[in-house]
Amino acid sequence: MYIDNHRFLRTDVKGFDSWQDLIADSGVDAIYIATPTALKEEIAVVAAQSKKHVLVDKPFVTLESLQKITVACRENQVLFMDATHFVHHPRIATIKETMEESIGKIQAIRSAFYFPVSDRNNIRLNQELEPTGALGDLGWYNMRATVEFLAPNINLSQTSAKVERDAKTGAIVRACGMLAFDDDSTSTWDAGYTSGAVTMDLVLIGTKGIITLDDFVLDWVNSSVFKNPDLKAGFYLKNGLDTRADFKFIEVKSEQSSQVKMVENFADLVFNGVANSATNYCQVSEKTQALLDELYRCV
Distance CA 25, CA 11 (A): 18
* Residue range 62-109, pLDDT digits in tens: 999 999 999 999 999 999 999 999 999 999 999 999 999 999 999 999
175/15: higher pLDDT: 175
Distance CA 119, CA 122 (A): 5
Per-residue burial over 274-291, b = 16 or more CB atoms within 10 Å of its CB, e = otherwise: eebeeeebbebbbbbbbb
Give the pLDDT score at 1.
61
* Residue range 135-159, pLDDT digits in tens: 999 999 999 999 999 999 999 999 9
CB 86 within 8 A of CB 216: yes
Domain 86-259 has CATH 3.30.360.10: yes
Q: How far apart are the first and last CA of the chain?
A: 40
Residue 8's pLDDT band (cuts 50, 70, 90): low
Q: What share of the chain is helix, strand, coil (3-state, %, to 5)?
A: 40, 25, 40
| DSSP secondary structure letter of residue 237 | E
pLDDT at 259 > cutoff 70 = yes
CA dihedral 56, 59, 62, 68 (to 10 degrees): 10
Backbone torsion region of residue 272, taken as left when φ is above 0, otherwise alpha when ψ lies between -120 and 50, otherwise beta? alpha
Give the pLDDT score at 257.
96
**φ, ψ at 194 (rounded to 5°):** -95, 0
Give the pLDDT score at 91.
98
Cite the DSSP H helix spans in the chain: 2-6, 19-24, 37-49, 63-75, 90-102, 133-137, 139-149, 258-271, 281-298
Give the pLDDT score at 206.
98
| DSSP secondary structure letter of residue 99 | H
* Residue range 183-224, pLDDT digits in tens: 999 999 999 999 999 999 999 999 999 999 999 999 999 999
Q: What is the CA radius of gyration of the chain?
A: 20
Mean pLDDT, the chain, integer: 96
Show me where the domains of the chain are located. 86-259
Distance CA 172, CA 124 (A): 9
Amino acid at 189: W
Contacts of residue 288, defined as CB under 8 A and 6 or more positions apart, other chains included, come to: 58, 82, 84, 140, 143, 144, 147
